[in-house]
């Protein structure tokens, strides 16, 4: 029978065996959860029929719920949905083969949690503000009056150039927000990863790996950031299992 792997736990002390916690939970399709241990690293698995796996929301949520409950008591590496191996024996082999990599990853996320920040704004409005600011500061006008007698190609380049300048202005603005966030993280020795311009309105997506006592500091900092950039909207979510801070691939 194939096994779906939910997470790899670090069971530091024999007295904190996760069995009792697992009894209160069910895996995907109501399957029983059980443990496969190699030393102090322990995989949480359930039986699964390979052919019956459907990547729908209910099973993804059932999968996530198990990890979320375990997170509250254990340092763990969350697996991506859809991680399965052929047998219990293969799970053990996988743990054995990757033990040092798994331990390194567990050290990194030990006692820490993931938080996610998304920054949204109306980029159209923001661009308009940036143009105005830029036109006031420099003689280089972003929207110059159309030149007479230019060829259709030249006109095309001019239009593209204007769009390009605007894009650069916007990116500079976004970068200034990102460096503010990065400086804050560096100061407190917090790991963070940022992606920018995910969509027209989602300009920043940052994930943080924090100790729980740093949560309030982060929120305070975001409040300051909001006063500095009133046009932007911030959403902070968490705590999450450290999904974004685990080395991504391990061998079966």
Partner 1 sequence: MSENKILFNTGSLDEFAGEIGKLSDIEDSKLKLTPDNADSGLAKLVLTLVELIRKLVEKQAMRRVEGGTLTDDEIERLGETLMNLELKMEELKKHFNLTDRDLNINLGPLGDLM
Partner 2 sequence: MDNNVIDQSKDITILELLDRVLNKGVILTGDIVISVADIDLVYLGVKLMLSSVETMDQLKAGKAIKEMK
The contact set with partner 1 (CB under 8 A) reads 61, 64-65, 68, 115, 118, 120, 151-157, 160-161, 164-165, 195, 197-199, 201-202, 215, 219, 222-223, 226, 232-240
Residues pairing with 5 in the sheet:
45
Which of 99/236 has CB closer to partner 1?
236
Least separation, in Å, of the C-beta of 58 and partner 2?
Answer: 11
Among partner 2, partner 1, none, residue 234 binds (CB under 5-8 Å by kind): partner 1
Q: 55, 140, 148, 152: which one contacts partner 2 (CB under 8 A)?
A: 55
- Residue 133 has a CB neighbour count (10 Å cut-off) of 12
Rg of the Cα atoms in the chain? 24
Among partner 2, partner 1, none, residue 34 binds (CB under 5-8 Å by kind): none
Q: 12, 50, 154, 159: which one contacts partner 2 (CB under 8 A)?
A: 50
Residue 208: which residues within 8 A CB-CB, separation 6 or more? 114, 115, 116, 117, 185, 190, 191, 192, 218, 238
Among partner 1, partner 2, none, residue 83 binds (CB under 5-8 Å by kind): partner 2
Q: State the Cα–Cα distance between residues 101 and 104, nearest whole angstrom.
A: 5
Binders of partner 2 among 207-236, rule CB under 8 A? Answer: 235
Residue 141: which residues within 8 A CB-CB, separation 6 or more? 135
Phi, psi for 249 (deg, rounded to 5): -125, 130
Binding flag, residue 240, partner 2 (CB under 8 A): yes
Which of 50/195 has CB closer to partner 1?
195
Q: State the Cα–Cα distance between residues 25 and 66, nearest whole angstrom.
A: 7
Residue 199 DSSP SS3: coil
Which of 128/198 has CB closer to partner 2?
198
Binding flag, residue 53, partner 2 (CB under 8 A): yes
Least separation, in Å, of the C-beta of 154 and partner 1?
Answer: 6
Binding flag, residue 74, partner 2 (CB under 8 A): no
Contact (Cβ atoms closer than 8 angstroms) between residue 188 and residue 217: yes
Contact (Cβ atoms closer than 8 angstroms) between residue 197 and residue 203: yes
Q: 10, 63, 74, 184: which one contacts partner 2 (CB under 8 A)?
A: 63
């Amino acid at each position: 029978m194939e096994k779906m792997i939910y997470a790899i736990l670090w069971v530091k002390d024999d007295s904190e065996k996760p069995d009792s916690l697992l009894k209160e939970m069910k895996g995907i399709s109501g399957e029983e959860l059980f443990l496969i241990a190699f030393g102090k690293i322990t995989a949480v698995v359930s039986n699964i029929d390979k052919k019956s796996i459907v990547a729908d929301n209910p099973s993804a949520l059932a999968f996530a719920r198990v990890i979320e409950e375990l997170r509250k008591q254990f340092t763990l590496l969350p697996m991506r949905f859809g991680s399965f191996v052929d047998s219990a024996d293969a799970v053990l082999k996988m743990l054995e083969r990757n033990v040092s990599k798994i331990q390194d990853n567990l050290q990194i996320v030990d006692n820490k949690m993931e938080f996610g920040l998304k920054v949204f704004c109306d980029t159209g409005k923001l661009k308009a503000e940036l143009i105005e600011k830029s036109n006031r500061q420099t003689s280089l006008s972003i929207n110059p009056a159309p030149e007479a007698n230019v060829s259709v190609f030249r006109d095309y380049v001019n239009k593209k150039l204007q769009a390009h300048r605007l894009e650069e202005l916007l990116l500079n603005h976004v970068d200034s927000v990102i460096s503010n966030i990065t400086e804050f993280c560096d100061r407190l020795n917090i790991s963070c990863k940022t992606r920018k311009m995910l969509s027209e309105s989602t300009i920043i997506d940052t994930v943080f790996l924090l100790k729980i006592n740093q949560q309030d500091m982060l929120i305070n900092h975001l409040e300051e950031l909001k006063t500095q950039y009133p046009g932007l909207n911030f959403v902070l979510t968490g705590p999450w299992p450290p999904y974004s801070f685990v080395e991504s691939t391990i061998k079966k």
